[in-house]
Amino acid sequence: MKSLPALLKAPTRFARKAVREWALRRQGKDPSPVTLHRRRIYIIPSGLGIGFGLILFAMLLASMNYNSSMGFALTFLLASLSLVAMHWCHQNLAGLIIRSVCLRPAFCGEDARLELCIENVSKNPRYELIAGYADQTAAPVDLEPTKSVMISLPVPTNTRGRLHLSRINVTTGFPFGLFRCWTWLHPDVSGIVYPQPAARAEGPPPVNTDTGGAQDDQRGEEDFAGLRSFRPGDSPRHVAWKAAAKGGELLVKQFAGTDVTTHWLDWAMLEGLDAELRLSRLTRWIVDAHFEGHAYGLRLPGSEFSPAISVGHRHRCLSALALYEPTPGSLVRGHD
């Protein structure tokens, strides 16, 4: 009975929601990778297909009224073509594999990027595949046999924290657009939405120079720290050519001990601001310090991150801010 007002107010929206909930109960959460079997692919006539069907019905009535054999032949020929189109529209999705579904981090107010890979393992090409999330859709893509393609979709964000994906759809109208064939995916994937950075004002808090604590292993060139395996993008001048001349694995020299500028970003420094403004200001300081190549540490009530310089450290600090739940006491006493 609770759903009756919603049904009367917006019957189309209510019906769509009911069908989607039924599909989720029927399929459950989808672990990666997902193979699109025939039982999870749905197909209905499109608006163009309904209009085409009405025209065929009118042609049939006219052929019967005038007893026209040519009219019957044309009507049944077009009807047969529409049935073949329905088969190929369904076949266009069947057997595809969806893998590598992930949601890239983003700052609140910006679009996060939803990425997924569609793989065609069959010997037949696939055409006009469209991936979508909520009201966002990607451009149609074609897939040659045994090929794959990465698709990226924007996902709006309006609050910090963990963003859970609800439902992704993959659709096609090939051929002719007479039918709409689609499938729903329910991946168990979530992403992080960082707090929105405050407007650029004063820089991070006072700095000091650290020689041996927070180090950037990629930029340090003071003291030899050991060898590691070669990775694409490493500078040739850091390659251990003497060791390479002896054969075996290509190794790269690591250095540490570079003097770095260190910031301590402390929740307690922003006394007098509410929780969201503090998080926004700390986010701005992290972004600026990382951009300048400075080491920084973060202190929050109940947690602390030692100074470091890396993309991973930036993500850890921003994630801590995104997921932080302030308590009334934390606004007064700062960090524990």
- Pick 314 or 250 by higher pLDDT: 314
Give the model's pLDDT for residue 91: 96
> pTM for the whole thing?
0.75
Residue 211 pLDDT class (50, 70, 90 cuts): very low
**Is pLDDT larger for residue 297 or for residue 249?**
297
Query: What is the mean predicted confidence (pLDDT) over 213-220?
Result: 47
Asked if 309 and 293 count as a contact pair (C-beta separation under 8 A), the reply is yes
pLDDT of residue 82: 96
- pLDDT digit string (tens) for 285-311? 999 988 888 889 999 998 999 988 888
Answer with the residue of higher pLDDT: 12 or 178.
178
pLDDT tens per residue across span 261-294: 788 999 988 888 899 999 999 999 999 988 888 8
Domain boundaries of the chain, sorted by first residue: 12-194, 195-222+258-336, 227-256
